[in-house]
Structure 1
Amino acid sequence: MATEMQALLAGSSLPQLSAGNVALVGAGCGSLGNLTLAAFKLICSAEVVVFDALVDSEILALLPEECERYDMGKRGGDVSASQDAINHKLLSLALRGLKVLRLKGGDPGVFGRGGEEALFLARHGVKTQFVAGVTAALGCAAAAAIPLTHRGVSRSVTLVTGHQATGDTTHHWRSLLDLGSTLVFYMGKDQAQKIAASLLLSGAAADLPMVFISAGCRNEQQLHYATISTMASVAKTITSAGPTLMILGEVVSVGSELQQLLNTIDSEFDNGGVRHAIAG
């Protein structure tokens, strides 16, 4: 199937890898289902890949057998590659004249340090190109049936890194809450108590709904619903070792209601696929 897809894309206008250049490619959120055709094409033609810890094994299996592989992911609490080491590895591979693929989970431009790597390489005379991926906010929200915007509920979305979401930010939160913005925190589970305190100080309602999404877009995906007042205690119960995304806002209630309705529809079918009751 992969070979057939490669043949189909061979004459397309999708981006191509060039010798001595680096493609900063988003592998999407979770498993193979969120991989774009552009990313697929580049993965299948890479001579060398530098990948991070969030790239799914199914995606890595698409790489050519002869492709050089460098696992340089960052893993919280474990030994990880430094950003400086990653930058210099990419540079050395490009200077060898190889077709270099820098493969990142999600999107390289959303908390992926793609801009840092591109600037470093450009300052050393190496060209790069960005190939967008499905970032966790979009992938996880879709997998959880949560609309990030919803008429009359939320008209904007703010993506925040949880590592920098605390401190003197109350004025910032107040402005976003007044707009009804959906807040999406990356890497924020361990900071849940501080984030909740900061939001409450800014005037957020204690019963504002939120959800933790662990192992998003994978078979083992887990949803943990809470409110701002309970999110710190709920965070402590999450045992998933994978990344956990946090979505805060009234859209979480919209998604929860939708999920319940979908579950009801599923229950109206028996094992043979026959619906027990037909609505209205």
Structure 2
Amino acid sequence: MSPSQQRLSVFPAFFRVSGRSVFVFGNGDEAYAKARLLRNTEAEIVAYALAPEADYAGWLAAQGIETVRSDFSPDQVKGAVMVFAATGNAALDRAIVSAARAEKIPANAVDQPDFCDFYTPALVNRAPVAVAIGTEGAGPVLAQMIRARIDQMLSPSLGRLADLAADYRDAAERLVPRGVSRRIFWRRFFSGDVADAVASNDTSAARRSANALLSTTGQAEGRIWLVGAGPGAEDLLTLRAQRVLMEADAIVYDALVPQAIVDMGRRDAERLSVGKRKNCHSKSQEEINHLLVELGRQGKRVVRLKSGDPLVYGRAGEEMAALREAGIAYEIVPGITSAFAAAADFELPLTLRGVASSLIFTTGHDLTGKVLPDWGSLAVSGATIAVYMGSSVAASVAERLMGAGLGADTTVAVIENASRADRKLLHGVLSELPDLEARDDLAGPVMVIIGEAVAGANFEKSEPLSAYKTLKAGKVHADMGQ
């Protein structure tokens, strides 16, 4: 791509409008949209609307915005610092822009790029912080899509944090050496304990943390987030998880967490894989605990990224205990656990009025001991059972449950890689579940859901468990015939 293709045809800038007049011409939705956008600012809005539509008129009255009900005349633009022509009449909008240009006032005509001295951006407002997204008029819908993504990424408390930072600017310039030290100070101010306190709406704690940060010239205490990465699909990550990933100095992640989610972290964050895949643990749990404590003692802000939810078979209890003992601050960021993702893929009601009022999470290994857990009787009475990591012990699971009295024809749903693009959905009955152990086509994490409520799932996109057995038998016969 040539340099000229990479250049913008517009120069992004912010106009000073506080206490100044901005005029909006029009009666309907287009004028209403521009006026609402301007309401994010301290501009003095004047609406030129001869006969505003009911919703617009009601909003103008509720906002106390000056409204001039008259036909357009060129002298009406005088005194404005900016003009919006949004009448819905292309010729009239062009006339309004021409009148504004004659007075050297920048103007914008809706949907007429040639009559726009500037374009209105899609705006993310965290006053005094603002993010404006423009496409030079080519793709307003695209700008709105980008705005939605950025809006999710930015904490709602960002504006209050920026206001607090303004109060500390002079002190930081006096007490913190210019250069690297000052950059570290502000980075920790905006992403450390100060930011956490502001997000919790605790202004006193925020100021105490800011004062402590000043006194140590940028040396902050470490903090660990135990974050649920969800079942694998990037867009199922929570907004809070996205935010802390962008704030972390280091990301400690399990093997089941997709690389695309790890990559959502800050570009310069240290990335540490700790494995934790079946039969192939690159680090023991004790080593992981020690790593988290050590990173915290170094003053780093660390995301401990776990598949699913950290509190559901995520060994979070041991990590929290180690952090508490070491005096390292930590926080839990929940994630969507695989059982919920699997149920969503199957459109499967985990609870169903009159059929299943209880939901049990377990691992297949819980069903392989000598004694069936107490909840075995609940399964017989209709509870839905979500079995994590169930494929390798499927025969034992089925045998023990049928032995407890659960019907062999009880419906089961099986899913590999829940929520992901490469997911595989299977369905059948409890007596067919042992066949899972012999399958060599299920390499990813497998969730098994068992119970009467499973019969209410949508099986249009899933394959019968019996189909694989039939396929294998056919292949054997074909091989024998060669």
Structure-1-length-normalised TM-score? 0.85
Amino acid at match of 1:96: Q
**For the residues of structure 2 that align with 1:229 and 1:3, how far apart are their CA atoms?**
49
Counterpart CA distance in 1 for 2:192 and 2:302 is: 7
Distance 2:323 2:154 in 1: 31
1:113 aligns with 2:260: no
Answer yes or no: is 1:11 the counterpart of 2:213. no
In structure 2, relative to structure 1, the CA distance for the partners of 1:245 and 1:171 (3 Å cut) is closer
Match in the other structure for 2:333? 131
Root-mean-square deviation (Å):
2.2
Which of the residues 446, 455, 460 maps onto 1:244?
Answer: 446
Question: What is the distance in 1 between the residues matched to 2:440 and 2:455?
Answer: 20
2:393 maps to: 191
Change in Cα spacing, 1:12 to 1:224, as seen in structure 2 (3 Å) is farther
Q: Does 2:460 match 1:260?
A: yes
Name the SS of the counterpart of 1:155 in structure 2.
coil
Partner deviation per Cα, 1:7-55 (whole Å, 9 max, x = no partner) = 4645289xx7544121111111121121011111111111111011121
Describe the SS at the equivalent of 2:312.
Answer: coil
Deviation at 1:128, TM superposition (A): 1.4
Flag the 1:167–1:12 CA change in 2: closer, same or farther, 3 A.
farther
Higher mean C-alpha deviation, range 163-172 or range 69-78: 163-172
Indicate the larger mover: 18-27 or 196-205: 18-27
Question: Structure 2: 5+ residue runs without aligned partners?
Answer: 1-145, 161-190, 194-220, 462-482
Shift in Å at residue 237 of structure 1? Answer: 2.2
CA contact (8 A) 1:210 1:247 kept: yes
Q: Residue deviations 1:143-179, cap 9 Å, x none?
A: 2211111112211100001122222343625421243
For the 8 Å contact 2:363–2:389, the answer to whether it is kept is yes
Question: Does the residue aligned with 1:100 lie in a helix, a strand or coil?
Answer: strand
How many residues matched? 258
- Written as runs of structure 1 = structure 2, the 5 A alignment for 1:57-76 is 57-76=259-278
Asked if the contact 2:155–2:243 (Cα under 8 Å) also holds between the matched residues in 1, the reply is no
Spell out the pairing of 1:25-44 with structure 2 (5 A cutoff): 25-44=227-246
Q: Contact between 2:224 and 2:304, CA under 8 Å: does it hold in 1?
A: yes
Structure 1 regions of 5+ residues with no counterpart? 262-280
**In 2, distance between residues paired with 1:118 and 1:171?**
27
1:21 matched to 2:220? The reply is: no
Which residue pairs with 1:268 in the alignment? none
Cα 1:186–1:17 shift into 2, 3 Å: farther
CA separation in 2, counterparts of 1:36 and 1:5? 9
Post-superposition CA distance 1:183-212 (Å, at most 9, x none): 011111101111111111111111111121
Map 1:42-191; keep pairs closer than 5 Å: 42-170=244-372, 172-191=374-393
Superposition deviation, residue 231 in structure 1: 0.5
For the residue of structure 1 that corresponds to 2:240, the secondary structure is: helix
Structure 2: how far apart are the matches of 1:177 and 1:245? 17
Q: Is the 8 A contact 2:222 2:328 kept in 1?
A: yes
Give the conservation status (yes or no) of the 8 Å contact 2:380–2:406.
no
Q: Kindly tell me: are residues 74 and 94 of structure 1, through their superposed partners in 2, closer, same or farther at Cα, counting changes over 3 Å?
A: same
Query: Can you list the C-alpha shifts for 1:226-267, whole angstroms capped at 9, x where unaligned?
Result: 222110014422522110011001222100xx3439xxxxxx
Contact 1:17/1:100, CA 8 A, preserved across alignment:
no
- Read off the aligned partner of 1:30 and give its amino acid letter: G
| Structure 1 residue aligned with 2:130 | none
Q: TM-score, normalised by structure 2?
A: 0.51
| Distance (whole Å) between structure 2 residues aligned to residue 141 and residue 69 of structure 1 | 32
Q: Which amino acid aligns with 1:6?
A: M
Tell me how far apart the structure 2 counterparts of residues 116 and 8 of structure 1 sit (CA, whole Å): 30
Distance 1:5 1:217 in 2: 21
How many angstroms does 1:113 deviate by? 0.7
In structure 2, do the counterparts of structure 1 residues 45 and 174 end up closer, same or farther at CA, with 3 Å as the change threshold? closer
For the pair 1:222 / 2:424, whether they are aligned, the reply is yes
Question: Of 201, 209, 212, which residue of structure 1 is paired with 2:414?
Answer: 212
Question: Relative to 1, partners in 2 of residues 1:184 and 1:88: Cα closer, same or farther, differing over 3 Å?
Answer: same
* Amino acid in structure 1 at the alignment position of 2:306: K
Percent of residue pairs bearing the same amino acid type: 35
* Equivalent pair of 1:215/1:240 in contact (CA under 8 Å): no
The farther-off stretch of 107-116 and 165-174 is: 165-174
The answer to which of 104-113 and 168-177 deviates more is 168-177
